[in-house]
Amino acid sequence: DIQMTQSPSTLSASVGDRLTITCRASQNISSRLAWYQQKPGKAPKLLIYKASSLESGVPIRFSGSGSGTEFTLTISSLQPDDFATYYCQQYNSHTFGQGTKLEIK
Amino acid sequence: QVQLVQSGAEVKKPGASVKVSCKASGYTFISYYMHWVRQAPGQGLEWMGIINPSGGSTSYAQKLQGRVTMTRDRSTSTVYMELSSLRSEDTAVYYCARGTEYSSSPFQYWGQGTLVTVSS
């Protein structure tokens, strides 16, 4: 099984900050990586697919990069609506990272 | 517009089975793979398996092999997930999520989730 490791597990930040979340795969997954945002009590929402492609309707402050085993999600200028939990997912065999909870500092 | 509407919350005793439904609308049902994902309280997302609504073929997470069964009804555009021999660790919100026409794809659409509580 392909293991996905996200870091950090928790991140405290302020509105306007630029931040990066990292996701590492235990083996090469090419660009088969997605990022999701989840708010409490809601289903996850797809933000990024194919490592760097922005899902329709997602604000351009979200961006993704990487290939192979190392990937990042960057939010260029945090907005109040962005405080949530973020998950990466490899979709060769569909496993998720453990999540990164983004909190208000 | 694409919609995935799941059945309501369930409370089950340990050892019982539960069957959750996911009714799809707004697209050609047989053209897109469907996945099931669960999330235990306060925990992360766990992929459970995939079904091809066209032919009915399935693939399950190794951890759940032997306990999970995914089926579909093409006449009602509904997929089902049945989990047997329930234990307390199966308490979770269960989601259906639609992929693309390829089995390896991200999940663009999600159901609203179904809470399954396993308690004696």
Q: Render pLDDT for B62-86 as a digit per residue (tens, 0 to 9).
A: 999 999 999 999 999 999 999 999 9
Q: Which residue in B45, B104, B107 is closest to A46 by CB distance?
A: B107
Contacts of A34 in chain B (CB under 8 A): 106-107
Rg, C-alpha atoms of chain B: 13
How many interchain CB pairs under 8 A, A with B?
48
- pLDDT for residue B35 is more than 90: yes
Contacts of B107 in chain A (CB under 8 A): 34, 36, 44, 46, 89
Note whether A97 contacts B35, CB cutoff 8 Å: no
Summarised one tens digit per residue, pLDDT across range A12-68 is 999 999 999 999 999 999 999 999 999 999 999 999 999 999 999 999 999 999 999
Q: How far apart are CA B82 and CA B64, in angstroms?
A: 11
Note whether A34 contacts B62, CB cutoff 8 Å: no
What is the structure's pLDDT at B20?
98
**Average pLDDT in chain B:** 97
Structure tokens at B117: 């509580």
**Average pLDDT in chain A:** 97
Closest-CA distance of chain A to residue B97, Å: 9
Q: How far apart are CA A73 and CA A59, in angstroms?
A: 13
Q: How far apart are CA B101 and CA A90, in angstroms?
A: 17
| Residue to test with chain A: of B5, B43, B45, B65, most A Cβ within 10 A | B45
- Closest to B47 in 3D by CA, of A48, A34, A39, A82: A34
Q: Which residue of A has its CA nearest to B108?
A: A46
Structure tokens at B59: 């693939």
Q: How far apart are CA A36 and CA A43, in angstroms?
A: 10
DSSP string, A27-75: S--TT-EEEEEE-TTS--EEEEETTTEEPTT--TTEEEEEETTEEEEEE
| pLDDT confidence band for B101 (50 / 70 / 90) | confident
- pLDDT for residue B42 is more than 90: yes
Summarised one tens digit per residue, pLDDT across range A34-48 is 999 999 999 999 999
What is the structure's pLDDT at A27?
97
